[in-house]
Structure 1
């Protein structure tokens, strides 16, 4: 065995972001959330100076394409480029190789290790290692158990054991791009896949992709006609999903609504049996002893989001009344209750 391959390198994955923004010429830079490769505890992207790129494991790609990328990294699918080369980082704006990509050869060695070697900047079918090779990067040799484990967990999150979609995934339909991007990022952090469909965009999602969603969340600016189009596409695909009408452009509140819609807060199965606001008090019903946290969200007169922690403590089985401070629920207000494995949301009338 070559000395350069003698030692192992640790392998992992971690969430990363390529921030969006408005450019000086008035153009836009796309916001992208993706998983970066963590090698020996350090993001690989940080070792590539001044590189504006994302890995193929981006959160906003369709599930089928995401799974294809994972299987390629596992060497369960053919290399997309000549000479056994795989894309490690690509253009954040598009998938065109002409924009440039960091590629590498990925191999499975005889002693059951995965090797990444011969990193290069590539803009056409063949890489020129002499001219565009990253000579100070790699080769990296990963233990098969650690490498496979990190990547297979992604497949398990995308698919159930029978191969059908796990459906912890939501389609976000709205007009406020900034709110949708923040919401999508927050959902992905807690393990809920999210994709964005602009309210004024064309609905062109294939039926196979529709079957991967468990919920659709509509922003308040989405018209009834646009909602009808979305519902009609899911009905034609034979897909039953939960529909969420966003209560307010407050990200933690919207996250809670989506969690509840996806089944995290189903009252018949979880510790939270009910949540309501009655005569200025929160009425919380629990089925077993558990810690409950109540948080109030509201929009003030300038439509700024305000948050108030109302209560946190252990409640016994039964119904409990908890006073709500008037300042916490003034104007457009909403209450979120959280218990282990459960969340419930209600507007404050």
Structure 2
């Protein structure tokens, strides 16, 4: 076993929810990820849709039990001293599969080793082991300090606050559909005409504010002022078109509190001919085009679904998929971005204006 030390840390992370192309829903999960040598451990598992046991939406007592297990203050939940590192984001059942590892003390140090994919109490390392990951040796003091910080105060804290959205607008039908979609994926949503008279503690409970297109400049300014007075740290989202999956993706992106340097999907831009995507590690990327036709009916088409290497990529676009008013949504296992398709005439108009 290597005697070299790895650094250990924790950082907020998100499994983005959303309305998928087939109409199915993907649940939103906020969790705390493990940062090993300055990089999310989950990024080493390029195509894994999973969350750590340190999720923000589990009961506080269970959250604390997970932390104490990682601190080796409780018996390992699986045979052979194995602990769940990442599990199913939908149900967290072992039968769906989980990444596990042996966690043990070695003097003052803590070692994570023998990473494997596991669906039962025991696993075959030869068949299911992640042979290119670990072992990791952490300095005990650094390791314990990071985890013990999670036991201070309310473990749901800021991430629980970030799961509520205030929808402001006049188009009740669109807002109601959007609120229903957000609630379906685990994000709380409230509808209002403005923020007047709302107590400051309620405003601070919202991680994002979404404005309908009919909301005027003065009304938007009044809402922002109310949130500023309340000391609320909300992100503001403008409705580009009444397309529910697109709006959900925009809000999911706004709610992402993952530190910028630890995000996997970092850039999405599009012209009528191509999309430009940047990722920081090998991962699966799905790219969808959303558009409104002349009768304002929404359409969606899958543009790309494949694995990309770290770096910048250009993906050709089907002209039919992005004609008229259109937008792209890019998804990875840990994030989502939305962007309008900007054509040459649009850019020239903006420059001349």
Alignment TM-score, normalising by the size of structure 1: 0.53
Aligned to 1:32: 29
Quote how far apart the aligned CAs of 1:135 are.
0.8
Structure 1, unaligned stretches of length 5 or more? 160-164, 183-194, 198-217, 221-245, 263-296, 307-326
Task: Flag the 1:248–1:100 CA change in 2: closer, same or farther, 3 A.
Answer: farther
Aligned to 1:117: 113
Quote how far apart the aligned CAs of 1:331 are.
9.9
Distance in 1 separating the partners of 2:198 and 2:112: 40
Distance in 1 separating the partners of 2:220 and 2:19: 35
Quote how far apart the aligned CAs of 1:336 are.
2.7
Which of 1 and 2 has greater Rg? 1
Distance in 1 separating the partners of 2:159 and 2:25: 30
Quote how far apart the aligned CAs of 1:68 are.
1.1
Q: Secondary structure at the match of 1:117?
A: strand
Number of aligned residue pairs: give it. 218
Distance in 2 separating the partners of 1:20 and 1:337: 25
Distance in 1 separating the partners of 2:19 and 2:158: 33
Contact 1:9 1:40 in 2 (8 A): yes
RMSD of aligned residue pairs (Cα, Å):
4.0
Aligned to 2:122: 126
Aligned to 1:155: 151
Distance in 1 separating the partners of 2:59 and 2:149: 17
1:39-188 matches, within 5 Å, as: 39-110=36-107, 112-158=108-154, 176=179
Deviations along 1:134-158, one digit per CA (max 9) or x if unpaired, are: 1111000111111111111111032
Task: Flag the 1:330–1:65 CA change in 2: closer, same or farther, 3 A.
Answer: closer
Quote how far apart the aligned CAs of 1:72 are.
0.8
Structure 2, unaligned stretches of length 5 or more? 167-175, 234-353
Task: Flag the 1:38–1:335 CA change in 2: closer, same or farther, 3 A.
Answer: same
